[in-house]
Structures are given as structure tokens and as C-alpha cells.
């Protein structure tokens, strides 16, 4: 990222840096950063957080824009192929103004313009129609069961967007994570910025000590059988509140860590909600 900034003269606006980093990742198959459709198009929350880290580490000036503090070359740490990729990016887009760069990204990757607040200012009718065709608006009810294990924050957010999720219920007992973006405070703020409501329901969580020594699926099944007989039996108010919001929002997601639904208690929560809404279809996992 520092090499990209250096390649473009050592100073870029926030919007321009996000767009160039996005194009680098897209054009070269670089998965270091993922992006979501946001206020001004493609956006990486991880890249924004790294901007702050690079300031504290003394690589960037302490400004809102991207500005190298040290003008020494960072490209020497890259492979020949990586250096060539950056120079090709520079060759193609060095002469682009910020507005022209935004227009290029919006027309080439219209999905990322679906939540832009400036799209109508940048695009003509035909181009806006392409953007509108990428909007994810779905009918029907859905309870999505999405564990964030192995996912970046942006990949998780795109799953929510692509399933038209309106609210997320965090069913972890302790909503802390070493993985960027998934601790309660930053997750809540991020989801709110994306127009998705966040609810933490700790009473429906399972304490970490009960998850020790789980090896086989039978171990998980025994834990969740006990969870149904105890927690879900007693926390009727929490389930009722969750169900009430589900009926209002229609499309919600349960958040926990585990990738496999059968190894997470959120599956049993969905089962309990299903029993309360036998007339509502479909209620499923994703």
C-alpha cells in the first residue's frame, strides 16, 4: 500500500487512494483487501484502519489524506511482478482526476456504486440504470446464519448486502474478537454506517468454558441439546424480542464465529424462532 502511494507521487486523497487500491486488487487478483459499496463507492474499512496505523508508526503524515512522511522508496521490498503491476496501474490511471477515476470505477464495477451518495451526480441515466440493476432488494422472510470464521469484515458485509439483510443479531456471550471489525463497538458502528441495525443478545450466548474439549460433532450436539433445555427454555423474553424484530424487518442474520452452522448454537436459535413462526416461509439459513 505504501508502494502504491509512492508510485502515485506520495500523496493522494482518501477517495482516490481507495479507488486505486480497489483497482489494483481487482486487476491483479490481489486479495489483501476486500471492498464494500459505500458512500463514495468501493471502500475498505481495513484499509482505512491501516491508514491510522501507518500514521502512528510514522510512515504517513497525520492528516485525513494519504501522505507519505518519508519519501524513500518502498518498492524495493516488492517482487518484480508486484512492481510491474504498480507501474501498469500508474500508466493507466496517473492522469485521471478524482472525478474521472470515480466515474471509471462506477461504470466498470456498478455494484460498488449502489450505496453511493454521489452516483447520480457522476452518471448518466443509462449508467445509473446499470447501478440500479445491481441493487439487492429481495422479497420474503429470511433468517441467515452467517459465522465470520475465515471472513474479512468486508466479505461478511457483502454477504449481508447480497442477502438484503436489515438487522444483525450478535448472539455471542462476549462480543470480542481478535479479528478486525468483529468486536462489538466497531461492528455496531460499521453496520449502522451500512444502514443495517445491530442488536447484541448476550443472554442467548454460550459461555466459553462450555465450549472447551469439543472434538466430535456428537460433542457439539450434546452441548446444543443442553442449550435448548436450559438457555432457550429460560430466555423466552429474548427469543420473543428477537422474533418481534424479525417479523418487522423480515430479513435478519444471526452472527457468531463458527463457519459451520451445525457447530454453532445459532442453528438452535433459528429452530426456536421457526417454531414461533410456522406460518412464515421461508425461514432458512445461508
d(CA 252, CA 140): 11
Q: How many Cα atoms within 13 Å fall on the side-chain side of residue 166?
A: 14
Residue 221, C-beta contacts closer than 8 angstroms, at least 6 positions apart: none
Main-chain phi, psi angles of 67, to 5 degrees: -145, 120
d(CA 56, CA 134): 38
d(CA 164, CA 250): 10
List the beta bridge partners of residue 254.
145, 169
Length of the chain: 286
Buried b or exposed e, range 11-25, using 16+ CB within 10 angstroms: bbebbbbbbbbbbbb
Main-chain phi, psi angles of 71, to 5 degrees: -85, 5
Domain ranges of the chain: 2-132, 142-276
The owner of cell 443479531 is: 169
Q: Which fold has domain 142-276?
A: 3.90.190
pLDDT score at 278: 66
d(CA 251, CA 160): 10
pLDDT score at 281: 46
pLDDT-flagged residues of the chain (< 50): 281-284, 286
Amino acid at each position: 500500500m505504501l508502494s502504491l502511494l509512492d508510485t502515485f507521487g506520495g500523496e493522494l486523497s482518501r477517495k482516490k487512494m481507495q479507488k486505486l487500491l480497489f483497482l489494483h486488487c481487482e486487476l491483479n487478483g490481489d486479495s489483501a483487501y476486500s471492498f464494500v459499496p459505500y458512500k463514495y463507492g468501493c471502500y475498505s474499512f481495513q484499509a482505512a484502519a491501516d491508514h491510522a496505523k501507518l500514521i502512528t508508526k510514522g510512515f504517513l503524515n497525520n492528516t485525513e489524506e494519504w501522505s507519505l512522511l518519508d519519501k524513500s522508496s518502498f518498492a524495493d521490498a516488492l517482487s518484480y511482478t508486484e512492481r510491474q503491476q504498480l507501474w501498469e496501474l500508474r500508466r493507466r490511471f496517473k492522469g485521471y482526476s478524482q472525478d474521472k477515476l470515480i466515474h471509471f470505477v462506477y461504470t466498470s464495477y456498478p455494484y460498488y456504486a449502489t450505496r453511493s451518495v454521489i452516483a447520480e451526480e457522476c452518471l448518466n441515466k443509462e449508467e445509473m440504470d446499470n447501478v440500479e440493476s445491481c441493487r439487492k432488494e429481495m422479497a420474503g422472510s429470511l433468517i441467515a446464519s452467517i459465522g465470520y470464521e475465515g471472513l474479512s469484515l468486508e466479505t461478511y458485509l457483502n454477504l449481508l448486502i447480497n442477502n438484503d439483510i436489515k438487522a444483525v443479531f450478535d448472539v455471542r456471550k462476549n462480543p470480542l474478537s481478535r479479528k478486525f471489525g468483529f468486536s462489538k463497538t466497531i461492528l455496531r458502528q460499521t453496520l449502522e454506517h451500512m444502514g443495517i441495525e445491530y442488536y447484541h443478545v448476550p443472554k442467548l450466548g454460550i459461555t466459553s468454558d462450555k465450549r472447551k474439549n469439543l472434538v466430535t460433532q456428537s460433542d457439539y450436539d450434546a452441548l446444543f441439546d443442553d442449550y435448548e433445555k436450559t438457555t432457550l427454555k429460560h430466555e423466552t423474553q429474548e427469543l420473543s424480542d428477537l422474533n418481534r424484530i424479525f417479523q418487522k424487518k423480515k430479513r435478519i442474520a444471526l452472527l457468531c464465529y463458527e463457519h459451520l452452522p451445525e457447530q454453532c448454537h445459532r442453528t438452535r436459535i433459528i429452530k426456536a424462532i421457526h417454531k414461533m413462526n410456522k406460518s412464515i416461509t421461508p425461514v432458512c439459513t445461508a
